Amino acid sequence: MRIEPIRAAGGRPAHIRHDDDLISAKGVSVVMARQLILQNIDLAIPKGSFVSLIGPSGCGKSTLLKVLAGLVDPTSGSVAIAGLSPVEAARKRMIGLVFQDANLLPWKNAVDNASMLLSIADKSLSRAKLKARGQEMLELVGLGDSAHKRPHELSGGMRQRVAIARALALEPAVLLMDEPFGALDAITRDQMGQSLLEIWQRTGKTIVLVTHSIDEAIHLSRHVHVLGIKPGRITESLDVDLPYPRDLSVTEDPAFVRLTVQLRTMLRAGHQPGAAS
């Protein structure tokens, strides 16, 4: 097995060609309440790739995801998603969002929750079409037979699947996920990760995952960007050269173990405030 993690000083693996990048951030800095949250982030995310952003609490990885989603404006620098600003891209339904809390509407059943955002994004769709799309997405996430259950009848993992279905119903080009499995138990978390990989391979979406789990980052993603704290910045990047399709047995692969050690070392280095990358 060849493992050749490529690190570049600018935070971007040198081999990525810019033309293929669906998302590119250039010199993004964010200042909030007179604090430098993110400093000079350069990021290039190729179309169809699975990228993880990993870092300690307070490194600004969630803020970075919000910048990519157009929910936070960068103080300086710019972000382009397929040549559009994040807000324009979101309006064109190119961005699907999943947060740690599924945030389902308790008064709607699973299928109506799955089509809820779509119904706002595209007012021309009939109720029947919305239901059909919701059902289709629930089937994609493995909840086809739970369409009429309300959120309180679903487990935490199932609720998060509905949240993923709701994001996918928009037919976005990119899924931005902020610690989507952070509140789940270890076993459910592994299953959800595996399901996400399968959905990724079936749909060809570009996925950006914010996580603080080293195993999750390596199990799922093709590229991992490590963020350091104070200020939040990309300190290192790691390419995960494990072949897809991957399943949970990949975690026993010696290459996997070596990558986790490598990533842990990188994280530790980024944990020093203001440390040079």
Binding site for another protein (CB under 8 A): 66, 69-71, 90-91, 93, 95, 97, 99-101, 103, 105-107, 117, 120-121, 149-155, 166, 170, 178
Residue 177, burial from CB neighbour count under 10 angstroms (0-12, 13-18, 19+): buried
Q: Which is nearer to another protein, 9 or 120 (CB)?
A: 120
212 is written with which tokens?
Answer: 């603080």
Cα angle 125-131-133, degrees, rounded to a multiple of 5: 75
Closer to another protein by Cβ: residue 98 or 238 = 98
Nearest to 134 by CA among 111, 103, 100: 111
Shortest approach of another protein to residue 105 CB, angstroms?
7
Please answer whether residues 200 and 173 qualify as being in contact, where contact means their C-beta atoms are separated by less than 8 angstroms. no
Q: Considering the complex, what minimum distance in angstroms separates the CB of residue 21 from another protein?
A: 21
Shortest CB 185 distance to another protein, Å: 16
Q: What tokens were used for 123?
A: 């007012």
Sheet of 21-32: strand order equals 35-46, 21-32, 76-81
Q: Least distance to another protein from the beta carbon of 82, Å?
A: 16
| Residue 106 or 273 with smaller CB distance to another protein | 106
**CB nearer to another protein: pick between 41 and 97:** 97
In the DSSP assignment, the letter for residue 251 is G
Least separation in angstroms between CB 103 and another protein: 4
Cβ distance to another protein smaller for residue 7 or 93: 93
